[in-house]
Structure 1
Amino acid sequence: MVMVRTPLTPEEHERGERLGQLLREARGSRTMADVAASAGLSAETLRKIETGRAPTPAFFTVAALARALGLSMDDIAGRCVLIGV
């Protein structure tokens, strides 16, 4: 059985870009490797999320990054939701 991923909508791409920007801002002067290690992720995974190449990361990945960066899930949802969608 072959599973085909549904293409992402423009809104999903935009939300991913907003998430990436939020994470970069929250990371501040900390290195990508430091934050990724604190969240239990690879630096490459964090890089993909921050640059929008992985616009729909798993919930637990976002939760781990929120914890590592001192963000609440409400902060993330509030900043990444698209108004009028």
Structure 2
Amino acid sequence: MVRTPLTPWERQRGERFGALLREARGDRSMVEIAAAAGVSAETLRKIETGRAPTPSFFTVAALARALGLSLDELVVACAYGDEGEGEERQALSA
């Protein structure tokens, strides 16, 4: 099965997600967070650097839990680009 190439928006979303994870990780090591989430440090590294811009739901959920982030926060911060989706973003953040 051939994977459909990612759109620029999907790549940007992955970069936003990676930056959010790096920020939430703070001074904690990548190995510490990866172990707490049950993923490899290499997987976390790829996500943080945008090389894996579409991680699975369960990987996202595990990382969110390890970092003390809610999935709702991640949706608001990452799922919508700067160009809009304003009504949906407002509904999710309400």
Q: Please list every run of at least 4 consecutive aligned residues from structure 1 whose deviation after the TM superposition is greater than 6 angstroms.
A: none
In the alignment, what sits opposite 2:9?
Answer: 11
Identity rate, percent = 72
Name structure 1 gaps, 5 residues minimum. none
Q: Hey, what's the Cα distance between the residues in 1 that align with 2:54 and 2:48?
A: 11
In the alignment, what sits opposite 2:92?
Answer: none
In the alignment, what sits opposite 1:39?
Answer: 37
TM-score, structure 2 as length reference: 0.86
Q: Which amino acid aligns with 1:35?
A: I
Q: Hey, what's the Cα distance between the residues in 2 that align with 1:22 and 1:76?
A: 8
**Structure 1 residue 84: Cα displacement:** 2.8
Aligned CA-pair RMSD: 0.9
Summarize deviations over 1:1-57 as a string: whole Å, max 9, x none.
Answer: xx0000000000000000000000000000000000000000000000000000000
In the alignment, what sits opposite 1:84?
Answer: 84
Question: Greater relative contact order (Cα 8 A, min sep 6): structure 1 or 2?
Answer: 1
Name structure 2 gaps, 5 residues minimum. 86-94
